[in-house]
Amino acid sequence: MGEPCAVIGVGQTEYRTKRTDVSIAGLVREAALRALEDAGLTFKDIDAVVIGKAPDLFEGVMMPEAYLADALGARGKPMIRVHTAGSVGGSTALVAASLVQAGVHDRVLVVAWEKQSESNATWALSTHPPLSPTIVVGAGGYFAPHIRAYMRRTGAPDHIGTLVAVKDRQNALKNPYAHLRIPGISREMVESTPMLWEPIRYLETCPSSDGAAAMVLASESAARRAPNPPAWVHGTAMRSEPIFFAGRDTVSPQAGKDCAADVYRQAGITDPRRELDCAEVYVPFSWYEPMWLENLGFCGEGEGWKLTESGATGLDGDIPWNASGGVLSSNPIGASGLIRFAEAALQVRGLAGEHQVEGARRALGHAYGGGAQFYAMWVVGSDRP
């Protein structure tokens, strides 16, 4: 893994349906300044900036990183743009970490964002084959058949997705940054909402959010001088696979399994459910919690929905997932993966506030994108590896 790397600063904006009070530049700067404040630094202390963004098509601003350099204090400094679809937030953090691990820079600012109110991601993600109409609308139209395949394969009952939706929205009530904070959220409330893409109901899907997240990653010497506890990077991994090929398992993609195996190997983990204290996992549709529980090795095949139903992934369970409320509660697409990585870091730093998992010392951050084909993961811990 090279030189030690640590998270010494985390910053987030509030996630809302519309942030009409700021431009894109103002949005990313807000998150960056909060991360720098956490790290006890200013823009002058940063050696390089790595910026992540979902497709430019979403907001219609081409190569936005070029005009954001001034807002992020990057004038005259190296600046790298990352794009790996929905997993981009996670990939952005890993690119930044690699610059520290390689000894290239001491302090790197990583930023990702989305301003969905200035775009139409649903239709941007609706495929248009030549000479034929689209047969899906948005990401939900693409992933719903994979969920139905999971239900058939495992015999999972219909209510499992509802349980995840309620759990994550209850967690969001403890997170002041969360977009969807729904007092009194219940199974009855979720089950009364319209079916969007069977079996995904309205309250079993993620919102469209404006927001940004940022982190400061540092070398060991810089981390030792930071005012707050660091989160040490124990392992990093990225994997991808084609969206279409013969025999592809869209329910539990091989790239996800391989990515998890790699990051666990680096971190010395052989039993993730027992050796990790919590996880922030990219779950944009509630059914993806049991699916990813299996894909990431927290349980055997066909057992994910049982783990969810048992309450194991709740805040008071033995392996809390998405204590922050997750993607189901805040979804600025380009930043959603980085939020997972940042929230994992906050947990092991003991700085997660009301949604802190007691005694958390090791956590997984996970992001996926495209047609469940791009993956980024890291394991962070309170102890230096």
pLDDT tens digits for 242-269?
999 999 999 999 999 999 999 999 999 9
Query: Do 133 and 162 form a contact (C-beta atoms < 8 A)?
Result: no
Task: Provide the pLDDT for residue 127.
Answer: 61
Q: Is the pLDDT of residue 321 over 70?
A: yes
pLDDT of residue 132 exceeding 80? no
pLDDT of residue 255: 98
Share of the chain above pLDDT 70, in %: 96
The DSSP bridge pattern shows strands 278-280 and 5-12 to be unpaired
CA distance 51 to 63: 11
How large is the average pLDDT for residues 107-115?
97
- Beginning with the edge strand found earlier in the chain, give each strand of the sheet holding 278-280 in spatial order: 79-82, 48-53, 107-115, 210-219, 5-12, 231-240, 374-381, 362-369, 278-280
pLDDT tens column, 165-224: 999 999 999 999 999 999 999 999 999 999 999 999 999 999 999 999 999 999 999 999
* Position 18 confidence tier, pLDDT thresholds 50, 70, 90: very high
Q: Give tens-digit pLDDT for 265-297.
A: 999 999 999 999 999 999 999 999 999 999 999
CA distance 79 to 95: 11
pLDDT value at 122 more than 80: no
Whats the size of the chain, residue-wise? 385
Share of the chain above pLDDT 90, in %: 90
Question: Using 50, 70 and 90 to split pLDDT, how confident is the model at 58?
Answer: confident
Average pLDDT over residues 122-131: 66
Rounded mean pLDDT, 82-99: 97
Mean pLDDT on 105-131: 83
pLDDT tens sequence across 331-367: 999 999 999 999 999 999 999 999 999 999 999 999 9
Domains recognised in the chain with CATH numbers:
6-121+209-224 (3.40.47.10), 131-204+235-381 (3.40.47.10)
- Give the per-residue pLDDT at 55: 86
Assess whether pLDDT exceeds 90 at residue 373. yes
- Pick the closest to residue 7 from 365, 354, 374, 371 (CA basis): 365
